[in-house]
Amino acid sequence: MIKSIAVFCGSSSGGADIYRAEAHLLGATMAAMDIELIYGGAKIGVMGAVADGCLNAGGRVTGIIPGFLKTKEVAHDGLTRLLIVETMHERKWQMHEMSDAVITLPGGWGTMEEIFEMLTWAQLGLHEKPIGMLNTNGYYNALLQMCDTMVSEKFLAQATRSILMHDNCVNGIMNKIIAYKPTPGDRILTKKFV
């Protein structure tokens, strides 16, 4: 059962209103499903939109932000809970530990680093959480094509590629996250985090 989802996304709003609108809708959808949002703690950009969507719909939101980013990313002061950590790694680790699933929205370098580490941990068998990508406005089309190139060039197994679920709409990705069942044999290792 999915009780919490870590959402990785940008502190920028992007170049089109649809990015914030879809993030807001994801937050509201999570609230309606009684799923807690775990995210990076900012009140700006796509991050702020997903948090506001969840909060405005009566949902629970936990933000996790490193102290040195508290001012730069402008920490959200209306959250259910705001945790201040020391490092970016600790932020990501806490988000992983507190969540039952992961969804990535559009973002930049930091968002890419976060989703790829979650995928790598899953590939290594360190967790079996569902990992989804909301491909708003076709933002991730080129990245998804690159993932397929990794498979065709034999740098990534198809079974491992299938760990990353994606959809163009909020309901689609939420349905995939909720229905997810790990496939035996698509992980390199079998031990969990301890």
Q: Is the pLDDT of residue 150 over 90?
A: yes
Query: Mean pLDDT, to the nearest integer, of 34-51?
Result: 96
Give pLDDT, residue 69. 84
Which domains are present in the chain? 4-179 (3.40.50.450)
Give pLDDT, residue 182. 82
What are 109's two structure tokens?
Answer: 């370098």
Share of the chain above pLDDT 70, in %: 93
Q: Is the pLDDT of residue 190 over 50?
A: no
Give pLDDT, residue 188. 58
Query: Mean pLDDT, to the nearest integer, of 2-7?
Result: 98
DSSP secondary structure, 70-120, as one string: TTTTTB-SSSSEEEEESSHHHHHHHHHHH-SEEEE-S--HHHHHHHHHHHH
pLDDT band at 187 (very low <50, low <70, confident <90, very high): low
DSSP secondary structure, the chain, as one string: ---EEEEE--SS--SSHHHHHHHHHHHHHHHHTT-EEEE--BSSHHHHHHHHHHHHTT--EEEEEEGGGTTTTTB-SSSSEEEEESSHHHHHHHHHHH-SEEEE-S--HHHHHHHHHHHHHHHTTS----EEEE-GGGTTHHHHHHHHHHHHTTSS-HHHHTTEEEESSHHHHHHHHHH--PPTT--S--PPP-
pLDDT band at 183 (very low <50, low <70, confident <90, very high): confident
Rg (CA), the chain: 16
Give pLDDT, residue 180. 94
pLDDT digits (tens, 9 = 90+) for 56-88: 999 999 999 998 887 776 899 999 999 999 999
- Give the other-Cβ count within 10 Å of 29's Cβ: 18
pLDDT band at 98 (very low <50, low <70, confident <90, very high): very high
